[in-house]
Amino acid sequence: RHVFFLNSFLKVFLCPAARCQFVMSRLAVVCGGSRGIGRAVSRLLAERGCRLVVVSRNQEAAGATVASLHGADHMALSCDVSKEQEVQKTFQTIQKTCGNICYLVNAAGISRDALLLRAGPEDMLAVLHTNLLGSMLTCRAALRSMLHTQGAAIVNIGSVVGVKGNVGQCVYSASKAGLRGFTRSLAKEVSSRNVRVNLLCPGFIRTDMTAALQEDAVRSVPLGRFGEPEEVAQAVLFLLQSPYITGQELVVDGGLQLLM
Ligand code: NDP
């Protein structure tokens, strides 16, 4: 019995990975955490005992989210995920101040909907740079520390239109389809290091992004309503905490995809 207790002591207090798992709470970075889906994810992860770093361009809005989180030791950082140098600096600050990242959620996103014939190159680049390049840059910057963390996992937020396409959303759906390929490839690249990468594809969710949509969009949803950000957050948590799921996509859309 003494040998058993000695072994447990050594595992928990001397092995760095075990010490991280049992003694410290998990560090989660949520990009786009100031509003909408990212804010709901931040709140749920904080309720489940994670330390949060909430990232968005607007520092004040990220700070307001942090102020509303359960528990202490959370942090708000301002960063435009489409700018490489800002991303590098932000993740260096996170590493220095908070340590190794366990969870990364990429919820920063924008839409500039227009028929392709009317879409300008500036809007096209803004959407691709934020939704696709932004997630690539944050994953690359976070991975360096995630490789040293037990149970590390990434969830990228895609969209049902990245799978099915939609009129007026050629560029937006291309950015989300790109994120699909990126997620699957990265999952293959880092699986041997025990980092999992999954994609979550929401349908219509009630946030600032969908505020301008007509209520008749609801009629296209089999469940007859828009989803709530908290309902997406539940699914993100499931993917983050499922140790045998990687390279997958989970659709949270009230059945919308069935009719597309
Ligand atoms: P919101 O507009 O409510 O929130 C977007 C978030 O992203 C904000 O926190 C915003 O903060 C942040 N953000 C935007 N651009 C940048 C940037 N360049 N750098 C850092 N942060 C940025 O959107 P949702 O919550 O609805 O969307 C979240 C994700 O879910 C997006 O990727 C979106 O494409 C996707 N999605 C949403 C759906 C919906 O129906 N709502 C459906 C399918 C997918 P700030 O402005 O301060 O930078």
pLDDT tens track for 173-215: 999 999 999 999 999 999 999 999 999 999 999 999 999 987 7
pLDDT at 7: 47
How far is it, in rounded angstroms, from Cα 108 to Cα 125?
15
Residue identifier of the C-alpha nearest atom 28 of ligand 1: 107
pLDDT at 2: 52
Q: Interface pTM (ipTM) of the complex? A: 0.99
Strand-pairing partners, residue 27, are: 51
pLDDT at 77: 98
CA atoms 83, 151, 73, 47: torsion sign: positive
pLDDT at 110: 98
Mutate which of 37, 39, 53, 226 for ligand 1? The one with the most ligand atoms within 8 Å of its CB, which is: 37
> Residue 31 in contact with residue 142, Cβ under 8 Å?
no
CB neighbours of residue 22 within 10 Å: 11
Going by C-beta distance under 8 Å and a sequence separation of 6 or more, which residues neighbour residue 249? 158, 163, 180, 183, 198, 199, 200, 201
**CB under 8 A, 24+ apart: contacts of 70-74:** 70/43, 70/46, 71/46, 73/25, 74/46
pLDDT at 24: 60
Q: Indicate if ligand 1 lies below 6 Å from the C-beta of 169.
A: no
pLDDT at 128: 98
pLDDT at 174: 98
How many whole angstroms from 7 Cα to the centroid of ligand 1? 47
Tell me the CA distances in angstroms from 31 to 2, 58, 72, one per residue in order.
47, 12, 19
pLDDT at 1: 45
CA angle 139, 104, 210 (to 5 degrees): 100
How far is it, in rounded angstroms, from Cα 147 to Cα 141?
11
Chunked mean pLDDT (size 10), the chain, 260 residues: 47 43 76 98 98 98 98 97 98 97 98 97 98 98 95 98 96 98 98 98 97 88 97 98 98 96
End-to-end C-alpha distance for the chain, whole angstroms: 61
Which tens digits make up the pLDDT trace of 20-50?
A: 344 369 999 999 999 999 999 999 999 999 9
Asked about 172 being catalytic, the answer comes back as yes
| Percent of the chain with pLDDT strictly greater than 70 | 91
DSSP 27-51: EEEEET-SSHHHHHHHHHHHHTT-E
Atom of ligand 1 nearest to the CA of 227: 40
Atom of ligand 1 nearest to the CA of 37: 25
**Shortest CA distance to 106 belongs to which of 79, 126, 124?**
79
How far is it, in rounded angstroms, from Cα 142 to Cα 92?
9
Considering the candidates 108, 139, 141, 172, report the single residue annotated as catalytic: 172
How far is it, in rounded angstroms, from Cα 49 to Cα 73?
11
**Shortest CA distance to 235 belongs to which of 62, 65, 47, 37?**
37
Residue identifier of the C-alpha nearest atom 24 of ligand 1: 36
Torsion of the alpha carbons at 96, 97, 100 and 105, rounded to the nearest 10: -120
How many whole angstroms from 224 Cα to the centroid of ligand 1? 23
